[in-house]
A = this chain, B = another copy of it.
Amino acid sequence: MNDALLIPSPTGSTRLYAVVGDPIAQVQAPTLLNQLFAERGIDALMLPVQAGAADFATVIEGLKRIGNLDGLLITVPHKLAVAAHADEQSLTVALTSSSNALRRQANGRWLADNFDGAGFVAGLRNAGRDPEGWRVALFGSGGAGNAIAVALLQAGIDRLDLFDVDRSRAARFAERLEQYWPGQVRVLDAAQPGEVELAINATPIGMQPGDPLPFDLEGLAPRTLIADIIMKPAETRLLQSAAAKGHAVQPGIHMLSSQLGLYRQFFGLDPAQ
């Protein structure tokens, strides 16, 4: 416990939050949010809660009934299991089936939302890059990739090109997006971005040292921004190669760090609201 963050011990008036995952050892949310609570004098505590897949339903239902617990963050491997425990869900959750945040609303009903995509877009904006009107190529149609797709379309991008090695997975998701953003989504046949302002890696390719590039950097305009959602390593081979070719890059940490403010708002803990 070097450099341990010191926070007030919880009392009967403290509002509780929990991040639920398995494993839980790596989660950053308790330290990051508890620091924020301490700095702002908010009487709240974010806990790490470890629950395996077999126990998830029982744990979630138990946590939801705790009177002084107001919200949950959900991480691997439970993001697809959350929506079944919510009374209401955001459009992002409805489209992606994936949720990473749950809160009790004033009426007592639990709302599921997903901030992976909104965190990514907030990360762009925090770096002074508003994606409105952009053309975007997105590689990887898993939970995080799909959440980013929805958030970018909600943020007003012009066109989204999707690629996944499982082409039918990308196609099924594109069909769902088509209902809300007709004519704006295409499925790519190869891991080759066309003329875009932003190309994003939302695949796990790049986590291992020997991994190839998740998509081809050849033929991209130098002004194309290259983003990766991988956080370990902080600088993937994709980002290194892109930077070497003169591209601006956005590393994965921005997606997480930009989610903190969104959680704070979602949980109603933002004094500015």
Residues of A participating in the B interface, judged by any CB pair closer than 8 Å: 1, 4-14, 16, 22-27, 30-31, 34-35, 38, 41, 43, 45, 47-52, 55, 58-63, 65-69
Contact = CB atoms under 8 A, between A and B. Distances in A.
Given A10-B30, A13-B25, A16-B47, A59 B55 contact: no
A1 B8 contact: yes
* Highest count of chain B CB atoms <10 Å: which of A25, A43, A45, A48: A48
B4 A6 contact: no
A9 B25 contact: no
A27 B12 CA distance: 6
A25 B14 CA distance: 9
Contacts of A22: 67
Contacts of A30: 9-12
Contacts of A47: 10, 16, 45, 47
Contact of A66 (B1, B10, B23, B50): B50
A10 B13 CA distance: 18
Contacts of A50: 12, 66-68
Contacts of A51: 65-67
Given A27-B12, A30-B9, A48-B10, A1 B43 contact: yes
Nearest to A13: B25
Given A58-B61, A62-B61, A62-B62, A68 B10 contact: no
Contact of A5 (B1, B4, B8, B55): B8
* Highest count of chain B CB atoms <10 Å: which of A47, A51, A58, A63: A47
A271 to B, nearest CB: 16
A71 B24 CA distance: 18
* Highest count of chain B CB atoms <10 Å: which of A8, A12, A16, A63: A12
A268 B9 CA distance: 21
B43 A66 contact: no
B24 A68 contact: yes
* 6 tightest A-B CB contacts, nearest first: A62-B62, A50-B67, A12-B25, A55-B65, A4-B8, A5-B9
A14 B48 contact: yes
A23 B59 CA distance: 22
A26 B9 contact: no
A48 B68 contact: yes
B8 A9 contact: no
